[in-house]
Structure 1
Amino acid sequence: MLKVFLVEDEYIIRESIKKTINWAAEGFSLVGEAGDGERAYPMILKSEPDIVITDIRMPFMDGLELARLIRVKLPQSRVIILSGHDEFDYAREAIQIGVTEYLLKPISGATLLTAIHGVAQKIRADQSRIDYRAIYEKEHAEKLQLERTDFFKNLVDGKLSMSQVLEQGQHFGMDLSAVWYQVMLFQVRGRDLAEAVRPEAAEADRQALEIEDTIMDLVAVQGHAEMYEQIGDTLCFLLMAQTREELQQTETSLIAKMKKAAEGSDKLLYFIGIGQAVSRLHEIKMAYQSASRAFSARFFSDCSGIFRDTDAGFLPESDQTELDLSRLNMDKLDRRIVYNFLAGGTVTDVPDFVRNYLTGLGRDNLNSLLLRQYVILDSIFAMAAFLKKQGISAAQLEQFQNQFRNFNANLTLDQAETRLCQCFDNALALRDSQSQQQYGRLIEQAKGYIDTHYACEDISLSTVAASVHFSPNHFSSIFGQQTGLSFIEYLTQVRMAKARELLYCTKLKSAEIAFQVGYRDPHYFCYVFKKTHNLTPMEFRSQRGAKAAVTGGTDACG
């Protein structure tokens, strides 16, 4: 219902206008009145009417001066001038101010009402254009975010040529031409991934999402850095600079912002992996691999930390075959290291994790056949325990363990490393299979939320993501992977299916159906319907009726 404010210094005329028109029945709300512009102006600012009807000649402040002030403070409000002066200068000034209608007195209630409805139609048309733009921008932003994530994945995987990188980067508003590049990885998570099923884990997840959102906002204004969110709640940053000094400054600034955002919660740990700097676009893949190597150290840490890739590699080989317990770090045999990796690692992390895991035990010690056998068997038992906790079936667990039941006990160190990598690969495959089922359940939950709330105007990617405790970016990626559709595409499908049902089964008008399926603007509903069906709603209904008449059958409603 549009709001109307009336300004008229002649009391009789003002009362006549108020009583002649049945405001509520005509779809309007008369929110205020005043006898002059000076008294009206503060009241108008407070009530923010859609339409102001004002006399042109009034004491203290006339209608034209009032219209000027309204134009500045409330540009969305429309002004109708009532004037007893049929003079060109008045009309010209009113046009210059932006007055919507200029009506000459005396004027009948019917004529005034027609003018008000005309102005209301213009307001609704303007609002429709604004709504179209907002909806388009929301859909475009979601699509652009998915495309941007795919671009970054291809960039760090080395799948793009230099020209493709620069061209696609420009498409996303990124200038990727620089002298130096560096990759940083960031993750914030609960203190013990292996115990992530505890009740307090939900609160930790909520805090982690808040921290990620804060860091995203900070990076948006950082400069010399681009970011995307990977599956697994890891944020990936590409730092760019013209000099090493500038790169170092960007790194220092970004780390400080991350630490400030992440520190302060006793439920969370944060990890930052920093790769080596490279000087060519095609070396960004190497920079990413370098950062990933450093980042794999997080699985061995029980406190927050910053890890850098030093390319230290393995310690030199030794002919020693006896186990030196004095040089064996027993903390590195803690099964929680394996649990935490299985809970938060990926297949691409396996080689670096296994290498660091074995190096931490001491290369010389691993020349002992006894320790090699123990490490492999203990890791397999730890994997089995983790998988059982994740809900893997007994049959799958038995199959997993059988793969390694009769492994060659005389494996060399290199063969043992390869074998251990295979163990972790298989364990992660089972975990991911189970996770996909869990993601599937979450997506079904999200679909249920959409099916229940599709008619709400304010339903959005953010509200649906929040309903399943995901960040919007993470949810968007998972939803796309699970359904093959973007959130907007799926929401539109649901709304269109309900619209078809209403067209089939009711005699509701298109405008009524639009409101029932979540579209405030009937024109936009018709646009979307025609875009998805190549028919207008009425053409669709007529076609359905014609088919039913020809076949003599009934429709889906019986």
Structure 2
Amino acid sequence: MYRLLIVDDEEIITDSLYETFARLMPDQLDVCKAYSAVEALNWMQRTRIDIILTDIRMPGMSGLELTEQIQNYWPTCRVIFLTGHSDFDYAYRALQLPNVRYLLKTEGYNKVMSVVEEVLEEIRRSYSMLDLVKQTREVTSQLAVIRQEEFVRRLLQDSTAVTCTSNDLQDELNKRNLDLQAARPIYMVLGRLNAPLETSSDLERVQESVRIIGSSFMQEHAVNASVTDHYGDMIWLLQTKREDGTADNALVKFLEGTLELVQNACMASLGVSIAFTLSGRSCRFSEITRQYERLRLLQWMNTGDNISMVLTDNHTAPSTGFTKEPLRISSKIELMSGYLETGRIQPFYDMFEELAGELLQHDITMERAMETYYNLALLLHSTIHRWGIQQNIEDQRSLLHLGEFTSRKDALQYLYHAAEELVHFKRSNEQEGSNVAIRSLCSYIEENLEKDLSLVRLAELHHFNPSYLSRLFKQEKGTNLSEFIDDCRIRRAKELLQNTDLMIREIAIRVGYEAAHSFTRLFKKLTGMTPQEYRESLLIR
């Protein structure tokens, strides 16, 4: 989904354009509005903006000054100047800026809509990155890439062993032509394909292509090194390009928005869906392994199959106490828990089979057998109680009492029974989970019509990615989120017109419209009558 921001200090123009574009292509275009350059910059700090439609001359900061600021936040953002001033100097200055178009207000709405659609098509074409992938493959030295990737994998596996001193680390980075700086903090992105590919050659090609596409988008504000880990996930290590080497929330917001563009590009060019997890705070080189494992766990805990989402981890991981070689069984139990919580049933069963199979090995020691069994039993038992399904599993307390089973085979059979009950419950409740989330969102909208109900704000409040929220709502409700909000506002307005003596402008404010003329226009569009005509029709009855 692309995002359009309309900026004009004349409210009637802003509101009219907002209403026009909000209904132009609701599945593809999320529309926001601002009545000043300062308000527009606030939007820029909150979310990615793909197109901005703005007046040139506004009080305080002009459209030209605003455009220069925009380049600092979202360099690929397209700008369309819509103004009543046709003097040459302004037009000439506007056309010197990158990704800028210039229109006169006198050219009419049809011309404005046509230009916005043309710009959207330009953006879509720019996401076809296959030529970039081909060119990069041709000019990249394969040997140098192998040496770089081998070093990054070592950092992921055990960063404490690689990062002895800052000078030594910088020498290693320089020898491999990596642009990262040893003394600067690191951010990390983990990307995972949402569906398996048919062959290993397809997988390798797609992994390489995704890394090239991701790096090309992120290089605007960040230097990076990327690698595919042994799980098949794509990893990027990133540092800000700021001269002082410090990074802040602006870089994280840039990465969040840019990763959505990477998802769009990968779908358009490669036909694959990607889920990303991003470290919201930096770490030192020595902490890379811990940060990497944390992102993997967060990915397992929060994503399911075929969901394109960008998840940001804002937790600060402690810098000490890292265990170089975690216990093998406990690590697998963490993986299994993540798979079960996110509905990834086949990976859960595969690892369950691996651990359960150990219990039947003839050469296994009693200590090892008990450790394996109790780790599996504790995972199943805690999940049963957390999900509240004790009644579904007979004698589930026996899970934690190995002595109640006459043989290892009997104990293993009970583990399988408990695991199957959990899987059955998870599958039957996945759809209900989506319904609950959307019902909660609908209730919030109906109870807060006078508040900011933009897609970005609703996503912030309900902890969703904006694009994912839009798709989920359409999937669950069969209608666009913006259309649902409009329907709620009109229904509430009708109730107030019928049951109160409030003035039209007061009703407009109560249902979320600061300008009465915007409320009147929408009401007539959806009902065929103005609010006053509707109220009078009730009196006639």
- Shorter-chain TM-score category? 0.3 to 0.5
Query: Which has the higher Rg, Structure 1 or Structure 2?
Result: 1
Q: Which has the higher contact order (CA 8 A, sep 6+)?
A: 2
TM-score (normalizing by structure 2)? 0.39
TM-score (normalizing by structure 1)? 0.38
